[in-house]
Amino acid sequence: MSFAELWDSLLDIGRDPGTGGYRRYTFTDADAACRAWFMKTAAERNLRTHSDRNANLWAWWDVGDSADADPAEPGQPRRPAGGRPERMARGGVWGGRPPEASTVITGSHLDSVPDGGAFDGPLGVVSAFAAVDLLRERGFAPARPVAVAAFCEEEGGRFGMACLGSRLLTGAVTPDTARELRDGTGVTFAEAMASAGLDPARLSADEELLARIGAFVELHIEQGSALDGLGAAVGVAESIWPHGRWRLDFTGRADHAGTTRLDDRRDPMLPYAAAVLEARQAAAAAGALATFGKVVAEPGAANAISSAVHAWLDARAPGQEVLDHMVGQIEAAARRAAQAQGVEVGVRRESFTPLVEFDPALRARVSRALAGRGITAPVLPTGAGHDAGFLAARVPTAMLFVRNPTGVSHSPAEHASRADCEAGVVALAAVLEELTSP
Ligand SMILES: [Zn+2]
């Protein structure tokens, strides 16, 4: 199947007809349809599937399998593991591990931010299946298993914690913390998971699964326009900036907008505004990024002074010290302005991911594999978090980026040309071939 057919088979799921954006929130009907699409796509390729204890999806291309063997029942192992060849991997990245303990994982996520674009996440999953197709068309037989993964709740679009599935898998968040996360209507992650037919009691780090992974390569649309500037269709990630989310709660006093004298007000909107302006200035001065993208005013009446303003700061920087300093400046500005207005302010860090440097040996091997096939792939840092960032703490991990000419992401305007998507598939197939060759 061509990339285009595969891409189109997913395209309509969870798209809002009004905005054209995607609303693929975890454990909703749209998410169930995405999961069913993953299972069907894998089964059509004779890939063994399973949903792990953390609601991540897997499709395994085991050594010796071909596209036209007996199709597997989704979720059922087709044959015992003992039937696989016992060849040993050569050294290098694998350190002599047996094939069964050096599966090359590729994939990304299928969930979206509110009104997200079509490419962020799905491009990596669709490209993974397309790369498997391409390798099989060429008659390539991997000496190590390949698996396609789709991680749960990567965007934090419903429960507020990004990369939840990969955090759970790698033990970066406790199961209890995950179970208690709530969506905007108060439903917990555990409740939503149970209503999707999965068992929240089983959430936990999955050492057995991690032990089978030799490397993870995530292909992702670039969330910036660096590749466009460099004239390259694909790039290789160098690092992920440290980044986090902070919640700022400003508490003032609700009052009448038409009768309350300015001097008598305790308006929480003012220190909030000061924080927004400081975020922009501090980020510009630091060569970093700081964004208030979500704000809730209470009671939210157009003719009333707010009683409270809740705001979320997303901050990212090239290094830890720069990030700490910038967030400190924003918090200080919020507190100064709050004090001047008689407003209380509380600041709480909701999530944080330290600097991720991708495995240098794997990155070098990825770059060599691409160069060897005449693919120019510049090396880039990124400010965006990914499941690859959490996997990188446990297994050698690399990322490929596909050019996004406008640089726009997390919006329906996010775009990659068909030709660049196909170049991404060719690049990913080259990397998988390199990493799983005998
Ligand atoms: Zn993503």
pLDDT digits (tens, 9 = 90+) for 123-134: 999 999 999 999
**Distance from Cα 386 to the centre of ligand 1, integer Å:** 6
What share of the chain in percent tops pLDDT 70? Answer: 93
Token pair in block for residue 273: 């505004």
Q: For residue range 323-380, what is the model confidence (pLDDT) as tens digits?
A: 999 999 999 999 999 999 999 999 999 988 889 889 999 999 999 999 999 999 999 9
**Distance from Cα 26 to the centre of ligand 1, integer Å:** 14
Cis omega (within 30 of 0) on the bond before 299? yes
Q: E strands along 222-359, which residues?
A: 234-240, 243-251, 255-256, 289-298, 304-305, 308-316, 344-353, 356-357
**Distance from Cα 392 to the centre of ligand 1, integer Å:** 15
**Distance from Cα 46 to the centre of ligand 1, integer Å:** 26
**Distance from Cα 407 to the centre of ligand 1, integer Å:** 14
User: Do residues 37 and 129 lie in contact, with contact meaning Cβ atoms separated by under 8 Å?
Assistant: no
Number of H helices, E strands in the chain: 13, 15
**Distance from Cα 319 to the centre of ligand 1, integer Å:** 21
Pairing of strands 213-221, 255-256: unpaired
Residue keyed to tokens 């069964």: 100
Token pair in block for residue 412: 């329906």
* Distance, CA of 244 to CA of 355 (rounded, Å): 11
Asked whether the predicted pLDDT for residue 141 surpasses 80, the reply is yes
**Distance from Cα 162 to the centre of ligand 1, integer Å:** 10
DSSP H helical ranges for 300-417? 320-341, 360-372, 387-391
**Distance from Cα 292 to the centre of ligand 1, integer Å:** 19
pLDDT for res 93: 57
**Distance from Cα 117 to the centre of ligand 1, integer Å:** 10
DSSP H helical ranges for 119-203? 122-137, 164-170, 175-180, 189-195
- CB under 8 Å to 286, separation ≥6 — which residues? 317, 322, 325, 326
pLDDT for res 73: 46
Residues flanking ion ligand 1, Cβ below 5 Å: 120-121
**Distance from Cα 80 to the centre of ligand 1, integer Å:** 34
Note the pTM of the prediction, 2 decimals. Answer: 0.81
Calculate the average pLDDT of the chain.
Answer: 91
Q: For residue range 302-322, what is the model confidence (pLDDT) as tens digits?
A: 999 999 999 999 999 999 999
**Distance from Cα 137 to the centre of ligand 1, integer Å:** 28
